Amino acid sequence: MTALTPPTVDAAALAARVAALAAEEGVADIAYAQVDSPAGRLVAARTEHGLVRLAYEDFNGGLDAVLEALAARLSPRIVEAPARLDDTRRELDEYFAGRRQAFDLPIDWALTTPFGRRVLQATAAIPFGRTSTYAAIAAAAGSPRGARPTGNALGANPIPIVVPCHRVLASGGGLGGYTGGLSRKELLLGIEGSRPG
């Protein structure tokens, strides 16, 4: 009598197929992928409406912390589905390679407050290679005396790089703050040829 050998299973391939099926069938509300970049590893997440989160993994407590926050704020139905974020990865690669000056990704603003959304939309209008100030963005968002709340809204930007909060500087020309750390802000401004000096 010969023993039957069980078929081998590629667990990673099976998990990818299950995740893709869940995303296609609408079982998952959020698809995510990890993205390597010159600014460090990023976690990108999208809903059916668009990119909802782009996080610096090391600055946001790691992958698990990012996913837990998404589950708490939006939906626990999250699946790793890199193919659903191919456009995000491609556009980020082009940006870091110096071949893209504007992102064409749909955005889901679900993680922002109404004021934060106005601030981030005003920030998104800053052209590549240019900078603005917290005061100017506050005015553009309808709160000319709200530089401090504007800074808070920029610090809570759920989609850095794509929504370019790195282009907002202090009124005196200093860097101000940045959600991923000042070295990343300098890196991004350097890519765009707008390093403050």
Which of these is catalytic: 20, 138, 165, 168? Answer: 165
Alpha helical stretches, state H, 46-133: 63-73, 86-96, 114-124
pLDDT digits (tens, 9 = 90+) for 115-126: 999 999 999 999
**Nearest alpha-carbon partner for 66 in 96, 93, 41:** 41
**Nearest alpha-carbon partner for 167 in 131, 196, 140:** 131
Query: Which pTM was predicted?
Result: 0.85
Q: How do beta strands 132-133 and 168-169 pair?
A: parallel
The pLDDT of residue 24 is above 70: no
The SS3 of residue 1 is coil
Go through the domains of the chain in sequence order and give each one's CATH number: 11-96 (3.30.160.70), 114-191 (1.10.10.10)
The pLDDT of residue 22 is above 60: no
Q: Which residue has 């963005």 as its token pair?
A: 137
As a whole number of angstroms, the distance between CA 65 and CA 71 comes to 10
The pLDDT of residue 33 is above 80: yes
**By percentage, how much of the chain surpasses pLDDT 70?**
85
pLDDT digits (tens, 9 = 90+) for 56-79: 999 889 999 999 999 999 999 999
* Annotation says 47 is catalytic: no
The pLDDT of residue 183 is above 70: yes
| 185, two tokens | 């802000």
The Cα diameter of the chain in Å comes to 85
Q: How many residues are listed for the chain in this entry?
A: 197
> Please, are residues 158 and 116 in contact by the beta-carbon 8 Å criterion?
no
Q: How do beta strands 78-80 and 30-35 pair?
A: parallel
Q: What is the pLDDT of residue 43?
A: 98
